[in-house]
Structure 1
Amino acid sequence: MKLKKYISLFIASCSCVWATSCLGDLDQEPILDKSSASIHNEADCQAFLAKIYSGFGLSGNSSDPNVEPDLQGGDQGSLVFLRGLLSMQLFPTDEAIWNWTDEGIVELCEIDWDYTLPYAYTFYQRAMLNVRYCKEFLDVYHADSDIKDIQKYRDQVRGLRAMNYYYLIDLYRNPGVVWDDSPTDDKSWKPSQIGAEALFEKVVNELVDLSENGDLDETPSMATYGRITKPVINTLLAKMYLNAEVYTGTPMYDKAATYAKKVIDAGFGLEDNYANLFCGENHLTGIHKNEIIYAIPFDNVNAKSYGSTIVLTAGAFGGDLDQTWFGMSSSWTCLKPTRQMIEFFDESPDAGTDSHGSRIKKDKRYAFYDGTGKRTPESKMQDWDSGYLCYKFTNLGWDGAAVTPTPDPNTDFPLFRLADIYLIYAECAVRNAAGTSKEQAVEYVNRLRERAYGDQSGNISLSDLSLDFILDERARELYWEGQRRSDLVRFGKFTRDYAWAYKGGTLEGVANLDSRFNVYPISDRDLTANPNLKQNTGYESLK
């Protein structure tokens, strides 16, 4: 049995332990009976830790009466952290559209939502539940516990809490706060907001303490795959500081570059074959080059959900793009790249056709299917036959090895990887961050492009390095990895001066929209349940 399977079994074990609903989380009874000494043992501690880790890839109980009826059963995928993140980061951008008109999806694709947006509710609830679990763990398993490695477990949980808050700040800017001093065992207590700047400082201070003093592994290895390590903490710091001007109004690119360099120096390397990063055996990067800094593990048996990488595999396959070519026995015919996404690769020369007769590019990051030249790039919603299709994520084996197709993928989701860190450093250099070198930035970018092109023909020079180039290169390298909306907001192009398909409700797109869409609303249901919360600017009334 491969190590990945042990990881998946560890995560799946939580399905029978600590079970609670995914929604209405802060109104629940305490997760544990804190008067019981029976929980203070290694097995229960690890089971609870597994529950917290699983909060990124699994959903919870579909039959719980506390869950909204329309969010049970077949729609339970919307409760999964990863699916919520992908939906909110991909669909309102130039990367992709969802082919079907599921509730809330059209609003996302058209950037035309209000505070009744379903995903604004479900993702907030999922992330806040994750935070609640972290608080409960830290309350129960104290640093003076006699459980072996308890300090490492506590520091991992602190890192997971900070990771949830990174995404909550990025999407909502000013969510409610559940922290060490929150009286979560009091059912009448409800979290309040402290403001984006204060929350940013709280989370950053936690991360800095973990980076400098935490009992966490410092170098990547197969043993730390899918776990919080010091490089994961430093990655979060790099990303928090990279977006600090958006979150707080104060640019902090110097600090972003500092922490990006710490990650680069930790011992990671680029995987030789880009496709291996997104295949059904991508955990093996932990043996070869350790490019994946943090992954959300999935497999076809023990860690699967409707919100896993099935969204990026089965979701993208179907019709004349046969799912069995890529190791899947299921297809959803839902997820398609936009024409604008295809055009980012116009710079790369054609390199013939693949075994299915579809055009390929010299840039191997180009993973789009044109149906032997019969499909046109323009994707239309509710029309699966329009547009190119995408096979970036597959369920194939290492180096494209054939596998027996399965209905759910074994493909892990690479939440953070070294390529992103290279591009963060390069962006900071272009923004003239202290301690950076533009020559070093060009070298990092060219490492990515040499892997993509197979030689130096795609390399750039110092004169090519610009913010526009960085934004486009991030699209080419990181598409469908849950980064794009944040990038467009940081570069000032999400609501201004840039049109793409369906933005604003037309196929051609609308360049300029109200700036309120740079932040998601707090759901009306959360506002009703918790009078301590205040709505984000621009969403005070229904449209």
Structure 2
Amino acid sequence: MMKIKFNTLLVALISFFTLVSCHDDLNQTPIDPDSTTEEDVFANASQAKGALAKLYASLALTGQQGPAGQPDISGIDEGFSQFSRMLFNLNELTTDQAIVGWGDPGLPDLHGLSWSSGNDFTEAMYYRLAQEVSFTNSFISNAELLADEEVNQFIAEARFLRAFAYYNLMDLYGNVPLTTEISTELPQQASREEIFNFVEEELLEIEDQLADSGANEYGRVDRVAAWALLSRLYLNAESFIGTPRYNDAVTYSEKVINSSYSINTTDANGNGSAYDELFLADNNTNGAQKEFIFTLNFDGIQSQTFGGTTFLVHAAVGGTMNPAEFGINGGWAGNRTTKSFVNKFVKTNAELNASIGPVSDWGIIGNSTPNGWADPDTDMYEASPNVFKIFTELTEGELKFRKNDDWSVSFGGENGNLIPDGDNIIVETTGRVVITLNLNNNTYTIQSIYESLPDARAMFYTDGQTLEINDVSTFEDGFAVTKFRNIDSNGNPGSDSTGDFVDTDLPVIRLAEIYLNYAEATLRGGGGNASRAVNLINELRERAYGNNSANITSGDLDLQFVLDERSRELYWEGLRRTDLIRYEQFTTNQYLWPFKGGVKDGVSAPTYRRLFPIPNDLLTINPNLTQNDGY
């Protein structure tokens, strides 16, 4: 196995600031590596702002050249080492929400909860976060020499990014070195509680030094980001350090909820839902941006990487999927999801039918339908004037539409077009389906239920895919996820005409998460208002369903419901492993999913898997460090 090396952990300042920022949203001029000196970088506030851009870019990009070449971390494919790609691998691929078909050494072990202490991916994430700490430490120490009020805000932003890096180090690895200055001395290992206290103190100290809510440039954090990260920190306090902080989680969630940020309700592409806009190529302008508290910004031309959303879009496309519909030139046929996650969206047919509308006088009949050719017909439900739907089971065979269980008014058809008293419709889609009869334009559709669930967050591709996974390496085993696209709200592909790189920004923290933090912390005794928690969740569900048909009451709200709602709302956004650990469902047999523990039906795993190992190279170099238990 190749050993991963962090090329810039202890680099000189000159090396740090010759890395060019590709975040065009920060509107910075690239620094010329042939002419830059340390004094130039921090000559004034304008130059310091250019250096600040690199701190943000180092979480989005992977090296000094572009998508590949001069990587920050060697010994692993450069695209693999990008921060949010690693976050997906460690916090999503290890759970029920994602599974990958690629066989790169160490990668299949993540979903199987069987990684070794020398796993390339767990090591790469450690070094990526260590790099961010190193960069922010260097920036802070040098920027503090400038007496400028604007620079003080830059320093606060750098401190936020350092706190964010340490939050993730604490979450993923537990006890790690705590350093706030660049030094060649070997650091001591801090306890998880010490890291927790550091992150908390930093965020509390900088909240008033950051820009007001919504007052900073898009892509840069303001004080709401500090409140949001505190909300996340306090929600996990009992899991991290054994001390409940749910009152604080409620307090800081309320600060965020009462800020200028708001849930996106703009259905910019007119498809009936405002949820998908959050993950389209123009999500920095289509209305979604008002929900984004902290994002990683990507541009198919200016900030190219094989990680980020380029990875999330390409890796999820394969099989019979059309890459052009996702704004890319081809799929990598890797990531899918498991039935355990799909079933988070699936209710019984009776429950789904009840959400449509009243029973109508139209029905289906035929040997593919539940009642066969015998009376009575299987009733459909009125969704809107002259539009009727039903969720049901179909087998191979034929069907027709009838009114009032009588052949005097009936429709057959083909290719989605209705024909009065026409030939029987050949059923090609079987299993659980949703059938729509539209008499406004004389058409019909028969779709797999999994592509037409009323919850618009259920974004699956099922054609040629199986719900059951028998062979992890086969892309067609498991439903594909269509959440992220390189298509804008007008249906146009992203800016990279080659279709290689993606424009879609990635929300790292968005307001919907904080709504759910508030609800969970309230249920765990945090002193919040239960009625408000219900209202917040219903706000998310009304966006997902397009109406209030799936709204909940206080009687529906319990901790398991919140966990499932977090899964439905936040999947593939880098939070699932942490959530499952908090609920004692990550390693235990309380909740099993396909191939958990490397077994098809799932098995429990040792509790030490809640943390990843400290990189072996560091243990060799630094005798002050102790490996996590179990490794």
Q: Measured at CA, do residues 37 and 316 of structure 1 come closer, stay the same or move farther in structure 2, by a change above 3 Å?
A: closer
Give, in angstroms, the shift of residue 355 of structure 1.
Answer: 9.8
SS of 2:52's equivalent in the other structure is: helix
- Give the match for residue 260 of structure 1: 253
| 8 A Cα contact 1:315 1:334, kept in partner | yes
Q: Is the 8 A contact 1:414 1:481 kept in 2?
A: yes
Aligned residue runs from structure 1 range 30-109, under 5 A: 36=39, 39-61=42-64, 63-64=69-70, 67-68=73-74, 70-71=75-76, 75-109=77-111
| 1:376 alignment partner, one of 462, 466, 480 | 466
Partners of 2:196 and 2:502 in 1: how far apart? Answer: 36
Larger helix fraction of residues: 1
Q: Distance in 2 between matches of 1:469 and 1:408?
A: 37
C-alpha offsets along residues 251-289 of structure 1, whole Å, 9 cap, x if unaligned?
10110110010000111111120000000011125x566
Check if 1:220 corresponds to 2:211. no
The answer to whether 1:196 aligns with 2:192 is yes
Other-structure match for 1:514: 606
Superposition deviation, residue 39 in structure 1: 3.6
Equivalent-residue separation in structure 2 for 1:82 and 1:327 (angstroms): 20
Q: Which residue of 2 aligns with 1:159?
A: 160
* RMSD, aligned α-carbons: 2.5
Moved more, 192-201 or 445-454: 192-201
- SS of the equivalent of 2:600 reads coil
1:274 pairs with 2:275: yes
Instruction: State the Cα distance separating 1:92 from its structure 2 match.
Output: 0.7
Shift of 1:537: 1.8
Deviates more, 1:450-459 or 1:398-407: 398-407
Match of 1:295, SS state, is: strand
| Structure with the larger strand share | 2
| Percentage identity across paired residues of the two chains | 33
TM-superposed deviation, 1:356: 11
Give me the whole-angstrom Cα distance separating, in 1, the residues matched to 2:435 and 2:138: 56
Tell me whether 1:473 sits opposite 2:539 in the alignment: no
What's the secondary structure of 1:163's corresponding residue?
helix
Q: Distance in 1 between matches of 2:293 and 2:533?
A: 20
Distance 1:262 1:65, change over 3 A: closer
Instruction: Please list, as runs of the form range in 1=range in 2, the aligned pairs for 1:318-329 lying within 5 A after superposition.
Output: 318-329=318-329
C-alpha distance in structure 2 between counterparts of 1:173 and 1:456, whole Å: 42
Distance in 2, Cα, partners of 1:104 & 1:444: 40
1:47 is displaced (CA, Å) by 2.2
Kindly indicate whether residue 296 of structure 2 is the aligned counterpart of residue 300 of structure 1.
no
Q: What corresponds to 2:479 in structure 1?
A: 388
Matched residues in 1 for 2:616 and 2:205: separation?
A: 35
Choose which of 447, 455, 459 in structure 2 pairs with 1:367. Answer: 459
Q: For residues 238 and 449 of structure 1, do their structure 2 counterparts lie closer, same or farther at Cα, with a shift above 3 Å needed?
A: same
State the match for 1:248 in structure 2: 241
- What does residue 170 of structure 2 align with? 169
- CA contact under 8 A between 1:270 and 1:419: conserved in structure 2? yes
1:8 aligned residue: 24
One-letter amino acid matched to 2:475: W
1:24 match: none
Q: 2:121 aligns with which of 96, 119, 137?
A: 119
User: What is residue 528 of structure 1 aligned with on the other side?
Assistant: 620
SS at match of 1:236: helix
- The 1:248–1:487 alpha-carbon spacing in structure 2 relative to 1, beyond 3 Å, is same
| Structure 1 residue 493, shift from structure 2 partner | 0.3
Larger radius of gyration: 2
C-alpha distance after superposition, 1:293-352 (max 9, x if no partner): 111000100112111111210110122111111211131111101111111110283565
Cross-structure match for 2:384: none
Cα distance in 1, alignment partners of residues 538 and 162 from structure 2 = 35
Residue type of the partner of 1:229? Answer: D
CA 1:139/1:324 → structure 2, altered by over 3 Å: closer, same or farther? same
Give the letter aligned to residue 311 of structure 2.
V
Q: Compute the TM-score of the two structures, normalised by the length of structure 2.
A: 0.76
Q: Contact 1:99/1:333 (CA < 8 Å) preserved in 2? A: yes
What per-residue deviation string (whole Å, max 9, x for no partner) do you get for residues 382-424 of structure 1? 1122221111001111265566672211000011111100000
Q: How far does the alpha carbon of each residue in 1:67-105 deviate from its partner, in whole angstroms, 9 at most, with x for none?
A: 53x42xxx2112211111111011110001111111221
Which one of the candidate residues 446, 452, 457 is aligned to 2:538? Answer: 446
What amino acid does structure 1 have at the position aligned with 2:220? R
Q: Give the Cα separation in 1 of the matches to 2:445 and 2:47.
A: 50
Structure 2's unaligned 5+ residue stretches are 1-20, 266-273, 353-390, 392-433, 437-443
Contact 2:275 2:456 (8 Å CA) reproduced: yes
8 A contact 2:41–2:48 mirrored in 1: no
1:432 maps onto 2:525 in alignment: yes
Contact 1:352/1:360 (CA < 8 Å) preserved in 2?
no
How far has the Cα of 1:10 moved from its partner?
4.2
Query: Is contact 1:134–1:161 with CA below 8 Å preserved after alignment?
Result: yes
Contact 2:435/2:445 (8 A) holds in 1 = no
Deviation of 1:192 (Å): 1.6
What is the CA–CA distance in structure 1 between the aligned matches of 2:610 and 2:108, rounded to whole Å?
Answer: 17
Partner of residue 204, structure 2 = 208
Aligned residue for 1:40, secondary structure, equals: coil
1:129–1:199 CA distance, 2 compared to 1 (3 A) = same
CA distance in 2, matches of 1:342, 1:122: 30
Q: Assess if the C-alpha contact under 8 Å between 2:277 and 2:288 holds in 1.
A: no
**TM-fit CA distance, 1:6:** 9.0
Residue deviations 1:215-258, cap 9 Å, x none? x122226x532112100000110011010011111010110110
Aligned positions, number: 504
CA apart distance, 1:506: 1.3
> What is the distance in 2 between the residues matched to 1:405 and 1:439?
50
- Equivalent residues of 2:317, 2:323 under 8 A apart: yes
Structure 1: gaps spanning 5 or more residues:
20-31
| Deviation string, structure 1 residues 468-522 (Cα, Å, up to 9, x no partner) | 1011111100000001000000000001121111111112111x21100011110
Query: Taking structure 1 as reference, are residues 39 and 150 closer, same or farther at Cα in structure 2, changes over 3 Å only?
Result: closer
Q: Aligned residue for 1:135?
A: 137
User: What SS class does the counterpart of residue 485 from structure 1 fall into?
Assistant: helix
Q: Residue 317 of structure 1 corresponds to which residue in structure 2?
A: 317
1:18 to 1:127, Cα distance in 2 relative to 1, 3 A:
farther
Q: Deviations over 1:21-80 (max 9, x none)?
A: xxxxxxxxxxx965x466423443122111111111101145559853x42xxx211221
Shift in alpha-carbon separation, 1:455–1:259, aligned structure 2, 3 A: same
**Given that residues 11 and 303 in structure 1 are in contact (C-alpha distance below 8 angstroms), is that contact kept between their aligned partners in structure 2?**
no
Q: 1:330 to 1:8 in 2, by over 3 A?
A: farther
Q: Which residue type is aligned with residue 24 of structure 2? A: S
- The secondary structure found in structure 1 opposite 2:526 is coil
Distance 1:137 1:438, change over 3 A: same
- Secondary structure of 1:398's partner? coil
Aligned residue type for 2:559: L
Flag the 1:117–1:16 CA change in 2: closer, same or farther, 3 A: farther
SS of aligned partner of 1:92: coil
In the alignment, which residue of structure 2 is the partner of 1:28? Answer: none
